[in-house]
């Protein structure tokens, strides 16, 4: 869409509101780029009802050729956090970010703070404040020369991520998540194993925060591999041998011990572990979902009644496939060609972190892994 869209907060002080419109007209409007749309954000709580009719009248007066006027109403400032991002996302469906002009002169401090945050996250770059010579403050008709538009700088998306990493805001979130999972692991395996898990996971995240994405991926995957190797025998102990044999595809799943090896001491990789786990969960999901096929019929023929613990696997039916995605990224990152090492980027490391949290949170939800079965 040609032209610009101006977003400005309503203001009980109509002098400041009008001065803002005049400053915008002087600074932003040119023969080729005119203000085509004006959006007024009104906070209803505390609003002066006598001013409501003047907002559009002032816009019509100062921008006689603009095409669209609209108002976005927010009941109170407590709703800024939820409503303001919606307002700007709606604008972005019509306007390009570079064609949106956002005023920070009008509105409360909490309003302008949230608007600045929304613009930063949505990459809306043109935001400004208007300063007025004090002697002309109450006389906005004095002429445009006494209004100064001060553009505010917005962090780029890469700068935002760098800022978040450097201030450890993301680290605090991750620390809390891993601490919660460590408490679940402590209940299962004791303090030593829980502490090792906690330290290994935080070490992986510190590598990520430092930009060492490949080593973060490898470290995180290895720690996940070790812990899954401990958890799988717990699942087997929840089932009778006939049910486990059926889930296991009649022995396709290799037995693990706490050193993550099979009975013949062969090291079990995350890749093979994830495939086996995925196959077991696929079979379990047939029972959970009520599927009847040759494999479920064979199980029914082998037992007098279905093991009720199968239904308790419902929270973790997707974990096998999540593990497979994690294993693929780790393997390509660690062992692949130069081209496949492109899977060692910040996006891959971020995915590994998120999928690890998903895997262990889902396992913590599983009753069979909480000692309640």
Length of the chain: 373
- Segment (H or E) for 149: strand 147-152
Q: What's the half-sphere exposure (Cβ side, CA atoms, 13 Å) at 131?
A: 5
Two structure tokens written together for 95: 């306007």
Q: Which of 220-229, 233-242, 265-274 is the least confident region?
A: 265-274
Rounded distance between C-alpha atoms, residue 249 and residue 283, angstroms: 8
Helices (H), the chain: 14-28, 52-62, 80-92, 109-122, 157-166, 169-189, 191-209, 213-236, 241-247, 270-289, 294-302, 319-335, 346-365
- Give residue 225's pLDDT: 87
Would the pLDDT of 253 be above 60? no
Tally of CB atoms within 10 A around 297? 10
Please give the average per-residue pLDDT across 132-150, as a whole number.
Answer: 62
Nearest residue to 277 via CA among 232, 211, 213, 217: 232
The CB density around residue 189, as the number of other CB atoms within 10 Å, is: 17
pLDDT in tens, 58-92: 999 999 989 999 999 999 888 888 899 899 999 99
Closest CA to 20 of 2, 1, 41, 3: 41
Q: Check pLDDT > 70 for residue 261.
A: no
β-strands 100-103, 147-152 pairing: unpaired
The class (CATH top level) of 4-154 is alpha beta
pLDDT, position 343: 63
| Model pLDDT for residues 83-131, shown as the tens digit of each residue | 998 999 999 999 999 999 999 999 888 899 889 988 888 889 899 998 8
What pLDDT does residue 2 have?
Answer: 77
Among 249, 272, 252, 251, smallest CA distance to 260 is for 272
pLDDT at position 202, please?
Answer: 85
Which residue do the tokens 């921008």 mark? 63
Phi-psi region of 146 (alpha: psi -120 to 50; beta: other; left: phi over 0): alpha
DSSP letter assigned to residue 98: G
Domain residue limits, the chain: 4-154, 166-369
- Sorting pLDDT into bands at 50, 70 and 90, what band is 252? low
3-class secondary structure per residue, 275-340: HHHHHHHHHHHHHHHCCCCHHHHHHHHHCCCCCHHHHHHHHHCCHHHHHHHHHHHHHHHHHCCCCH
Confidence grade of residue 270 (pLDDT, cut at 50, 70, 90): confident
What's the rounded Cα separation, in Å, for the pair 13 and 266?
Answer: 77
């Amino acid at each position: 869409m040609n032209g610009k869209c101006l977003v400005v907060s309503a203001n009980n002080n109509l002098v400041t509101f009008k001065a803002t419109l005049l400053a915008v007209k002087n600074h932003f409007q040119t023969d080729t780029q005119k203000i085509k749309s004006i959006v007024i954000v009104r906070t209803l709580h505390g609003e002066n009802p006598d001013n409501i009719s003047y907002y559009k009248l002032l816009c019509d007066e100062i921008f006689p050729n603009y095409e669209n006027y609209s108002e976005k109403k927010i009941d109170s400032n407590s709703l800024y956090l939820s409503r303001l991002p919606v307002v700007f996302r709606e604008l972005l469906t019509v306007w390009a970010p570079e064609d949106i002009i956002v005023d920070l002169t009008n509105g409360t401090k909490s309003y302008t703070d949230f608007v600045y945050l929304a613009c930063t996250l949505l990459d809306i770059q043109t935001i400004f404040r208007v300063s007025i010579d004090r002697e002309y403050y109450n006389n906005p008709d004095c002429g445009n020369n006494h209004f100064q538009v001060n553009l505010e700088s917005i962090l780029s998306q890469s700068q935002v991520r760098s800022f978040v990493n450097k201030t450890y805001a993301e680290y605090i979130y991750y620390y809390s998540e891993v601490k919660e999972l460590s408490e679940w692991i402590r209940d299962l395996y004791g303090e030593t194993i829980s502490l090792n898990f906690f330290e290994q996971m935080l070490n992986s995240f510190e590598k990520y925060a430092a930009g060492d994405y490949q080593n973060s991926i490898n470290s995180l995957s290895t720690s996940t591999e070790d812990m899954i190797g401990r958890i799988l025998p717990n699942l087997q102990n929840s089932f009778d041998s006939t049910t486990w044999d059926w889930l296991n595809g009649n022995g396709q799943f290799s037995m693990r011990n706490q050193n993550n090896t099979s009975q013949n001491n062969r090291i079990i990789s995350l890749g093979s572990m994830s495939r086996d786990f995925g196959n077991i969960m696929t079979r379990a999901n047939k029972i959970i979902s009520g599927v009847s096929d040759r494999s479920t019929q064979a199980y029914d023929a082998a037992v007098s009644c279905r093991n009720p613990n199968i239904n308790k696997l419902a929270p973790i039916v997707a974990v096998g496939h999540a593990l497979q995605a994690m294993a693929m990224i780790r393997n390509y990152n660690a062992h692949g060609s130069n081209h496949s090492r492109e899977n060692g980027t910040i996006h891959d490391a971020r995915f590994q972190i998120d999928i690890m949290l998903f895997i262990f949170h889902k396992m913590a939800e599983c009753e069979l892994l909480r000692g309640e079965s």
